């Protein structure tokens, strides 16, 4: 952990002084188009779930076993909020029982992604409809997430068995998005332990995952027995020294969401530094390459990183003071990126595709889902459109 440099000035401040020519009607039309696809996907997916990434821009269908299963019910709930049509509510709430069974039978629950999984599948229907089974299930998931904490190191292990020597003591930047489940459970139950674990994790993770120049490591290892930091590396980025675009976007959004709960100004300042670094490394059309090491080269874009960053920038902008010059800049930047996605990255011309956004990258080093639809990109695209269409209470 070194001393962080001064944050970079925002390179496109001039462009981000005003929003794009896209009013509420533009965002609503983009959302209508997404909801049409959701309606037809209800018939295609039936009781199964879209896999994390497309194959030829169609999702393989799987059981509720991956870290990404909750993005589908999350999209159904957003479709309900947009239309008020009970078709989407019924289809979304019908999944609660399945997520309860997954927890009861411990099906692929050895992951910090319990946060992604149970926030969208269960916290959302509790918040929207007062679904009591969903509330109870989400609290059980939060309890299970607490079991992944290493007491001495004060962090939540990302992947695998806590005693697996390849994964022991490893944290990843994505975990910032799993913490809202703990904050929420703390508020629901009145028990401070959920929040305490989350606060400790975000502070330690930020101290080591964020480099001196405000770029991020994807993952970082700690000695779980002594708590000593070991080293940062990557799993899905270009190299250990580069900055994986989606990781940076998870960091922006996750820190802005932690600020929503904790009101610690240091978290906003961290999100600001990550956001400036991200925005300064975008190509002309503002949709990031899959790793921010690439600036103007022929590499794949990651539209999912762009959609997540839009949500993060909007959340961050909301948190900033009215007089803060970045407040409008981040909000406008978010809209410029979203407009670029809506104009040039959607499947609206393709009846065949079951995805919403083209040109995502799941994991280039693993050759998985490269230049494909990605279900998390689709979810966050709908979430960012929702945020641009209306005042929205986050599920997170
Ligand atoms: N959280 C895993 C990913 O973003 O691919």
285 is catalytic: no
Q: Which two tokens stand for residue 113?
A: 């992604």
Residue 28 forms part of a structural domain: yes
Q: Give the containing element (helix H, strand E) for 361.
A: strand 360-363
Residue 277 forms part of a structural domain: yes
Residue 192 forms part of a structural domain: yes
How far is Cα 388 from Cα 112, in angstroms, rounded to an integer? 29
CA of 119 to the centre of ligand 1 (A): 16
Residue 7 forms part of a structural domain: no
CA of 229 to the centre of ligand 1 (A): 23
Q: Closest Cα to atom 2, ligand 1: which residue?
A: 174
149 strand-pairing partners: 156
Q: What is the pLDDT of residue 298?
A: 84
Question: 374: buried, middle or exposed (CB in 10 Å: 19+, 13-18, 0-12)?
Answer: buried
Question: Count of domains in the chain?
Answer: 1
Torsion angles phi and psi, residue 158, rounded to 5: -75, -60
Residue 226 forms part of a structural domain: yes
pLDDT in 10s for each residue of the chain, 396 residues: 668 889 899 999 999 999 999 889 999 999 999 999 999 999 999 999 999 999 999 999 999 999 999 999 999 999 999 999 999 999 999 999 999 999 999 999 999 999 999 999 999 999 999 999 999 999 999 999 999 999 999 999 999 999 999 999 999 999 999 999 999 999 999 999 999 999 999 999 999 999 999 999 999 999 999 999 999 999 999 999 999 999 999 999 999 999 999 999 999 999 999 999 999 999 999 999 999 999 878 899 999 999 999 999 999 999 999 999 999 999 999 999 999 999 999 999 998 999 999 999 999 999 999 999 999 999 999 999 999 999 999 999
CATH number, domain at 273?
A: 1.50.10.10
Within 13 A of 311's CA, how many CA atoms are on the CB side?
31
Residue 8 forms part of a structural domain: no
User: Residue 47: how many CB atoms within 10 A of its CB?
Assistant: 10
The whole domain housing 123 covers 15-389
Residue 5 forms part of a structural domain: no
The β-bridge relationship of strands 229-233 and 219-222 is antiparallel
Residue 359 forms part of a structural domain: yes
143 is catalytic: no
Helix locations, 215-302, DSSP H: 245-262, 265-279
The distance between the two most distant Cα atoms of the chain, rounded to a whole number of Å, is: 55
Which residues have CB under 8 Å from 278's CB, separation 6+? Answer: 245, 248, 249, 252, 288, 292, 309
Q: What is the pLDDT of residue 119?
A: 99
């Amino acid at each position: 952990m070194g001393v962080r440099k001064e944050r970079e000035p925002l390179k496109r401040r001039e462009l981000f002084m005003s929003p794009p020519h896209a009013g509420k009607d533009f965002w609503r039309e983009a959302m209508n188009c997404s909801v049409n696809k959701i309606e037809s996907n209800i018939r295609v997916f039936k009781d199964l779930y879209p896999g994390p990434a497309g194959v030829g821009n169609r999702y393989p269908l799987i059981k509720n076993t991956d870290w990404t299963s909750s993005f589908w019910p999350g999209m159904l709930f957003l479709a309900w909020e947009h239309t008020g049509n009970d078709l989407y509510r019924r289809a979304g709430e019908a999944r609660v029982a399945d997520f309860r069974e997954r927890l009861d039978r411990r099906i692929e629950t050895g992951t910090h992604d319990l946060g992604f999984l149970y926030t969208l599948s269960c916290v959302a229907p509790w918040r929207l409809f007062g679904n009591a089974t969903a509330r109870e299930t989400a609290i059980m998931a939060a309890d299970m997430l607490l079991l992944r904490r290493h007491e001495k190191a004060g962090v939540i292990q990302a992947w695998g068995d806590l005693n697996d020597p390849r994964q022991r003591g490893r944290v990843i930047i994505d975990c910032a998005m799993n913490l809202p489940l703990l904050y929420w459970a703390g508020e629901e139950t009145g028990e401070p332990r959920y929040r305490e674990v989350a606060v400790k994790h975000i502070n330690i993770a930020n101290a080591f995952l964020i480099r001196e120049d405000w770029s991020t490591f994807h993952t970082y290892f700690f000695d779980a027995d002594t708590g000593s930091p070991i080293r940062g590396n990557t799993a899905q980025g270009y190299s250990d020294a580069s900055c994986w675009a989606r990781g940076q976007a998870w960091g922006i959004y996750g820190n802005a969401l932690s600020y929503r709960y904790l009101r610690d100004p240091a978290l906003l300042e961290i999100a600001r530094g990550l956001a400036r670094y991200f925005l300064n490394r975008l190509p002309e059309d503002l949709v990031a390459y899959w790793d921010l090491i690439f600036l103007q080269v022929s590499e794949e874009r990651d539209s999912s990183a762009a959609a997540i960053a839009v949500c993060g920038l909007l959340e961050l902008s909301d948190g900033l003071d009215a007089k803060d010059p970045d407040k409008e800049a981040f909000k406008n930047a978010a809209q410029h990126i979203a407009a670029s996605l809506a104009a040039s990255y959607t499947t609206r011309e393709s009846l065949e595709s079951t995805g919403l956004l083209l040109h995502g990258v799941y994991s280039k080093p693993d050759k998985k889902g490269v230049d494909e639809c990605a279900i998390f990109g689709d979810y966050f695209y709908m979430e960012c459109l929702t945020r641009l269409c209306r005042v929205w209470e986050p599920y997170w």
